[in-house]
Amino acid sequence: MQRVLLTGGTGYIGGRLAPLLLEVGYAVRCLVRSARKLEDRSWRDHPSVEVVEDDLSDPAATARAMQGCDFGYYLVHSMAAAGTEYADRDKALASNFAAAAFDAGLERIVYLGGLGELGDGLSEHLKSRRVVEHALRLGSVPVTVLRAAMIIGSGSASFEILRYLVERLPVMVTPKWVRVESQPIAVENVLEYLVRTLSVPETSGRTIDIGGPDVLTYRGLMRVMQEERGLSRRLIIPVPVLTPRLSSLWIGLITPVNQQIARPLAEGLRNRVVCRDDEARRLMPQELLSTRQAIREALGQAGAGDVETNWSMAGTIPGDPHWAGGTVFHDERSIEIEQDPEAVWRAVCRIGGGQGWYAANFLWRIRGWLDQLVGGPGLRRGRRTPESIGFGEALDFWRVVGIQRNHHLRLQAEMKLPGEAFLSFDIQPGEGACRLVQTARFYPKGLLGLLYWWTVLPLHGIVFYGMLRGIRRAASEPAPDSTQASGKAPTQ
């Protein structure tokens, strides 16, 4: 059995690639920053899966983690990074990976890049992707580079931007890049290429463009999305004055994708992204989904709550801040619920997204709008599925940073705040009933942090106590799907 080293296993593509590699007979060693982010994956307990924690900063440590592996997938990027230092860090990590791959004796590295890396006038982010590719090639291990344009799949950032823009705006004033041609590809086809390249020696050391069967403008993509959603015709007005920065701000307000991710995506749309040849089809033939088929399938999965991974799952999860002697505010409330722990857990796991927060949803919406106005995520991210959650997932403007089934859930706030906020739920079983303890903790930063806590404290009685009562009501309701309502990801 050949062994594959997989980086990016907690991300959008890597999280879907791992089970496919297992399915065709590879052993998979996942190199991740946080092993806990894989606890809820259906494939985590497969006998051919190993998980090793490593951040790629030390080539010697990474080489040790690679020992015994035949191939390596490099699926690491800093799309959501802030500032300009991410480009230097990406280059350094890629160089470390290449050096470690040589020391460990890997046969080949596979890297997924973007067709947007071609042409003139590239954004800083797309230039960074080219630098990463170059850094990987400077090593002695052969590199296969697959370059894709827009990847269409439920949960991808590009797809979510397209869907929300079309759904929410009957009239769109857009940059002139809506006339630029693109060759989108379904996520299923991307994954098939990634798997197949290992068994096709002719792909070693080559750069291969991958795309679907259709070439169309972004205006055309919007038309297809509009038709597949059954919406009235959208009026699209291109204007030359909308810059990528303005476009990303607008995308950040209208869609679930924040400005930090939207900007590099918007900047990359300036370039024509079409495959230069048909080498991918010749070397790795497969049935390619049309753009319409890919959009239809992605919409169907999103509508059914069957989203295996999404764009918001990637990235680091900070731990609790360690502020010696700092002020910590607590707001603890509890309620008796005459149900078993599993029923209470099921109700707790349904918070956020379309379900809402059980009480005073209008206050949550106002808080979400205010957060968006200052550059935060607001409530637009929603959640991956209506019933199940896992470590590291986003719930609106919260992130799951602690989870123990039927016992404990801890969320960290990612909205813009003058401090750090956490919300936890603890289930304490008793005879024929449970006590649900809800605790809000806030670590203020400076005077603004103190003012913020005392300003919102009067609303806690409405929001948090109302939430507890709503959870008690929901715990008495039957589970809509007992296989998925336990807070554990469904078996794929």
Which of 322 and 253 is assigned the larger pLDDT?
253
How does residue 257 score in pLDDT terms, banded at 50, 70 and 90? low
Which of 203-217, 230-244, 344-358: highest mean pLDDT? 203-217
Model pLDDT for residues 431-490, shown as the tens digit of each residue: 889 999 999 999 877 668 778 888 998 998 899 999 999 999 999 887 655 444 444 433
- Rounded Cα distance, 262 and 250, in Å: 9
Give the per-residue pLDDT at 376. 83
How does residue 170 score in pLDDT terms, banded at 50, 70 and 90? confident
Check whether 81 has a pLDDT greater than 60: no
Lowest mean per-residue pLDDT among 189-203, 315-329, 422-436:
315-329
3-state helix/strand/coil string of the chain: CCEEEEECCCCCCHHHHHHHHHHCCCEEEEEECCHHHHCCCCCCCCCCEEEEECCCCCHHHHHHHHCCCCEEEECCCCCCCCCCHHHHHHHHHHHHHHHHHHHHCCCEEEEEEEHHHCCCCCCHHHHHHHHHHHHHHCCCCCEEEEEECCEECCCCHHHHHHHHHHHHCCEEEEEHHHHCEECCEEHHHHHHHHHHHHHCHHHCCCEEEECCCCCEEHHHHHHHHHHHCCCCCCEEEEECCCCHHHHHHHHHHHCCCCHHHHHHHHHHCCCCECCCCCHHHHHCCCCCCCHHHHHHHHHHHHHCCCCCCCHHHCCCCCCCCCCCCCCCEEEEEEEEECCCHHHHHHHHCCCCHHHCCCCCHHHHHHHHHHHHHCCCCCCCCCCCCCCCCCCCCEECCEEEEEEECCCEEEEEECCCCCEEEEEEEEEEECCCCEEEEEEEEEEECHHHHHHHHHHHHHHHHHHHHHHHHHHHHHHCCCCCCCCCCCCCCCCC
Share above pLDDT 70 across residues of the chain, in percent, rounded to a whole number = 82
Give the per-residue pLDDT at 20. 95
How does residue 307 score in pLDDT terms, banded at 50, 70 and 90? low
Which of 185 and 255 is assigned the larger pLDDT?
185
Strands 329-337 and 434-444: antiparallel
Share above pLDDT 90 across residues of the chain, in percent, rounded to a whole number = 40
Q: What is the arithmetic mean of pLDDT over 357-369?
A: 89
Check whether 297 has a pLDDT greater than 60: yes
Q: What is the mean pLDDT of the chain?
A: 83
Token pair in block for residue 434: 């449970």
Give the per-residue pLDDT at 261. 65
Lowest mean per-residue pLDDT among 260-269, 283-292, 331-340:
260-269
Give the per-residue pLDDT at 319. 35
Model pLDDT for residues 370-420, shown as the tens digit of each residue: 988 888 888 878 888 888 888 888 899 999 988 999 999 999 999 999 888
Q: What is the arithmetic mean of pLDDT over 327-348?
A: 89
Give the per-residue pLDDT at 112. 93
Domains of the chain: 327-475 (3.30.530.20)
Lowest mean per-residue pLDDT among 58-62, 121-125, 271-275, 394-398:
121-125
Which of 88 and 144 is assigned the larger pLDDT?
144
Token pair in block for residue 123: 């954004």
Lowest mean per-residue pLDDT among 72-86, 168-182, 290-304, 310-324:
310-324
- 308-321 in b/e burial notation, b at 16+ Cβ within 10 A? bbbbbbbbebeeee
Give the per-residue pLDDT at 243. 67
CB 149 within 8 A of CB 183: yes
Model pLDDT for residues 381-392, shown as the tens digit of each residue: 888 888 888 888
Which of 184 and 259 is assigned the larger pLDDT?
184
3-state helix/strand/coil string of 189-246: HHHHHHHHHHHCHHHCCCEEEECCCCCEEHHHHHHHHHHHCCCCCCEEEEECCCCHHH
Give the per-residue pLDDT at 489. 37
Give the per-residue pLDDT at 110. 97
Give the per-residue pLDDT at 490. 35
Check whether 326 has a pLDDT greater than 60: no
Check whether 47 has a pLDDT greater than 90: yes
Check whether 427 has a pLDDT greater than 80: yes
Lowest mean per-residue pLDDT among 93-107, 359-373, 478-492:
478-492
pTM equals: 0.70
